[in-house]
Amino acid sequence: TVKGLMAGTFAPSMSLYLSQHGMSYAYCGVGELGWGYVLASFFVCWIVADLFEFSYHYLGHSVSWMWQVHRHHHRFYNPSPFSVIADEPVDQFVRAMPMLLFPLVAPVNMDLLFSLFGVFFYAYGVYLHWGYEFESIDA
């Protein structure tokens, strides 16, 4: 929905705005921190964001008031790649928050952060929800 789109893009948009106005640690390119830092920050961002996503999703199933928000994600009776983004605006907003919070806490390459979320959370999420599994990639 439009509300979900707005909620899910607020944090990344705000992150870009803050980076352009020097109000965060976000940067583009390799920068003076070097490739080692970019590689290390990839793994740190991946692990922390995945732990955040796992915890939020777990709470969405185990806490009754959070289930009332999250349950709409499970309205598809058959697996569908659309269920990856079929979240209520609150879910979309919270799940995108690491894209705003990470650059406020530590230097983060924005190209890396956006690619990480695009590939590891959205593209892989589509694979997890599409109802087909490759033998080589276990969902």
What's the pLDDT tens digit per position in 3-18? Answer: 877 888 899 999 999 9
C-alpha to C-alpha distance for 42 and 109, rounded to whole angstroms: 9
Sign of CA dihedral 94, 100, 103, 106: negative
Share of the chain above pLDDT 70, in %: 84
Give the pLDDT confidence score for residue 139 in this predicted structure: 55
Give the pLDDT confidence score for residue 138 in this predicted structure: 63
Distance of CA 65 to the CA centre of its chain: 22
pTM: 0.81
Burial class (CB in 10 A: 0-12, 13-18, 19+), 52: middle
What's the pLDDT tens digit per position in 18-71? Answer: 999 999 999 999 988 999 999 999 999 999 999 998 998 899 889 999 888 877
Give the pLDDT confidence score for residue 75 in this predicted structure: 72
Query: Nearest CA to 69 among 14, 7, 26, 15?
Result: 7
Give the pLDDT confidence score for residue 118 in this predicted structure: 85
Query: Bridge partners of 26?
Result: 108
Mean pLDDT, the chain, rounded, equals 86
Query: Nearest CA to 69 among 57, 77, 60?
Result: 60
